[in-house]
Amino acid sequence: MAVGVEEVVKELRSTYTSGKTKTLEWRASQLKAIIRIATHHENEIVEALRSDLKKPELESFVHEICAVLSACKLALKELHRWMKPQKVKTSMTTFPASGEIVPEPLGVVLVISTWNYPFLLSLEPVIGAIAAGNVVVLKPSEVAPATSSVLSKLLGEYMDTTAVKVIEGAVPETTALLEQKWDKIFYTGSGKVGRIILAAAAKHLTPVVLELGGKCPVVVDANINLKVAARRIISGKWGCNSGQTCVSPDYVITTKEYASKLVDVLSAELENFYGKDPLQSKDLSSIINAHHFDRVTKLLDDEKVSGKIVFGGQQDKTNLKIAPTIILDVPDDSLIMNEEIFGPLLPIVTVNKIKESFDVINAKGKPLAAYLFTNDQKLKAEFIGSVSAGGITINDVALHFAEAGLPFGGVGESGMGAYHGKFSFDTFSHKKAVLQRGFGGDVAARYPPYAPWKLQF
Ligand code: NAD
């Protein structure tokens, strides 16, 4: 395997050196190929996602296929603008001169992807890499094998395989890939593996983007439209892959007074959406595999948590399903409050005053996303000013992810670097500083022999 990888990188580097991937035409042709993949093979992709995650068709279509299409279409439309050098004002120090920032591709890049949105989170970074004129290896996640295989097959059929390659595999294959010299590594996954990536990249001084996870909090203030808030929380938690989403609400913080009202409305809406027996609902994804099923249910077995379930709790290991579950008043030292849940459990933490929620959040690692439901303008401003997170959505959850004008990425424990829209192009480009001068305006003072009068300049 290791030898194969070396050859792949060699071939890609030679393609890159040929210069063909730098042209607008090549980049556009590859983006169009991805559009054809997503449109002509919709059923195959939906089936693969169903096989990996029992993902409902609507979620597959909206969260994966449409999201890939819109990222691709935006890149196609804007590419000529993104590629243009950007003029900058020059100063007296260099006068007369002109300055510009020229975006150039980085070269040979590696994208290592994860399993929860295995189509989108594989292709969106690839779209950025291609738009910026790079050659790329995609390593999809072995944990979603059907989607990994569809990606390998379709990219092989539709794309320029001298410049875009898919290497399937697990730890040994990824380890072999990480031994190579890359010009950028874009990794999505856990912080544990993120550290392995960063260490491997350091050997070659390779820049990295780490798209990691964390515990995304939702603060719920009183005096809001609680029904709308509850529906939005449910949609971002259980309606996104049964909570197996990096920006899903991980836990809720509300006041002691308001908690029971919130639980009542969340419970009623959950029953509306998924029925009295949610384990039978076709609108709820399953847990990806038995390992993750055991990991999530272990959080419920913790004695600090088990007596506090106020909704749900049902499990079906054969079908890898866990019902939407709400746990009220979990202690801060419970397992569930100290690990990313990445599943359909929602603990609710209570505080005396809503502002105390800021301390609860800031005492943990910086989350990938943080949410606040309130009508209080002052509280909104204070939340934005004092909660550090990769991104924030106010009065909804997860939707900042879908806004191409906003950079998507983490901070601190939740990662480094960002992408989406133009930020994807920038992430895979080097911004080359170019200063151009003529031969006029040569100032004698800069040259030796230095003399005191020259300092007066
Ligand atoms: P993971 O880190 O186990 O796997 C991700 C990738 O790393 C896979 O391709 C896998 O093959 C590879 N990998 C696994 N072990 C490796 C090792 N020892 N050496 C080298 N490569 C290895 O992560 P996961 O369980 O797939 O993902 C869950 C995490 O990802 C959660 O924390 C979640 O929040 C985060 N996530 C983040 C985003 C984001 O956009 N920020 C999106 C989805 C998931």
The string of DSSP letters for 399-449 reads GGGG-TTS-B---GGGEE--BSHHHHHHHTEEEEEEEEE-S----GGGSSS
The Å distance, Cα 162 to ligand 1 centre, comes to 27
**Residue whose CA is at the smallest distance from ligand 1 atom 11:** 170
Q: Which of the following is catalytic: 246, 269, 340, 413?
A: 246
Average pLDDT of the chain, as a whole number? 96
Cβ(109)–Cβ(10) under 8 Å? Answer: no
Q: Both tokens of residue 113?
A: 């992807």
Q: Is the CB of 339 under 6 A from ligand 1?
A: no
3-state secondary structure of 457: coil
User: How far apart, in whole angstroms, are the C-alpha atoms of residue 404 and residue 419?
Assistant: 9
**Residue whose CA is at the smallest distance from ligand 1 atom 13:** 171
Q: Both tokens of residue 63?
A: 């969260």
Minimal CA–CA distance to 132: which of 58, 186, 205, 178? 186
H helices present in 41-119, as ranges: 42-53, 57-59, 67-83
User: How far apart, in whole angstroms, are the C-alpha atoms of residue 3 and residue 8?
Assistant: 9
- CA-CA distances (angstroms) from residue 368 to 83, 180, 395? 29, 29, 17
The Å distance, Cα 148 to ligand 1 centre, comes to 14
Residue 132 has pLDDT above 70, yes or no: yes
Q: Is the CB of 193 under 6 A from ligand 1?
A: yes
The Å distance, Cα 188 to ligand 1 centre, comes to 6
Q: Is the CB of 218 under 6 A from ligand 1?
A: no
The yes/no answer to whether this complex scores an ipTM above 0.90 is yes
State residue 2's pLDDT score.
Answer: 46
59: annotated active-site residue: no
The Å distance, Cα 112 to ligand 1 centre, comes to 8
* Residues forming a β-bridge with 253: 219, 349
Place of tokens 């993750």: 292
Type and span of the H or E element at 346? strand 345-351
State residue 135's pLDDT score.
Answer: 98
Q: Using alpha carbons only, what angle is made at residue 67 by residues 62 and 70, rounded to the nearest 5 degrees?
A: 125
* Residues forming a β-bridge with 88: 99
The Å distance, Cα 110 to ligand 1 centre, comes to 14
User: How far apart, in whole angstroms, are the C-alpha atoms of residue 193 and residue 23?
Assistant: 35
Ligand 1 pocket mutation pick from 142, 188, 237 by most atoms within 8 angstroms of CB: 188
Asked whether the CA dihedral 189, 193, 198, 202 is positive or negative, the reply is: negative
246: annotated active-site residue: yes
Largest distance between two CA atoms of the chain = 89
Q: Is the CB of 175 under 6 A from ligand 1?
A: yes
Q: Is the CB of 112 under 6 A from ligand 1?
A: yes
Q: Is the CB of 362 under 6 A from ligand 1?
A: no
Q: What is the pLDDT of residues 20-54, one digit of tens each?
A: 999 999 999 999 999 999 999 999 999 999 999 99
Provide the CA 135 distance to its chain's centre, in angstroms: 21
State residue 455's pLDDT score.
Answer: 74
Pairing between strand 135-139 and 164-166?
Answer: parallel
Cβ(249)–Cβ(226) under 8 Å? Answer: no
Share of the chain above pLDDT 70, in %: 99
Atom of ligand 1 nearest to the CA of 368: 41
Model confidence, pTM: 0.96
**Residue whose CA is at the smallest distance from ligand 1 atom 8:** 141
Atom of ligand 1 nearest to the CA of 189: 30
Minimal CA–CA distance to 375: which of 165, 228, 202? 228
- Strand ranges (E), 246-316: 251-255, 309-311, 315-316
The Å distance, Cα 303 to ligand 1 centre, comes to 29
Q: What is the pLDDT of residues 243-271, one digit of tens each?
A: 999 999 999 999 999 999 999 999 999 99
Residue 457 has pLDDT above 80, yes or no: no
Q: What is the pLDDT of residues 286-319, one digit of tens each?
A: 999 999 999 999 999 998 998 899 999 999 999 9
Q: Is the CB of 171 under 6 A from ligand 1?
A: yes
User: How far apart, in whole angstroms, are the C-alpha atoms of residue 145 and residue 65?
Assistant: 18
Cβ(13)–Cβ(180) under 8 Å? Answer: no
Band of the pLDDT at 454, cuts 50, 70, 90?
A: confident
318 CB-contact burial (10 Å; exposed 0-12 / middle 13-18 / buried 19+) = exposed
Q: Please count the other Cβ atoms lying within 10 Å of the Cβ belonging to residue 378.
A: 8
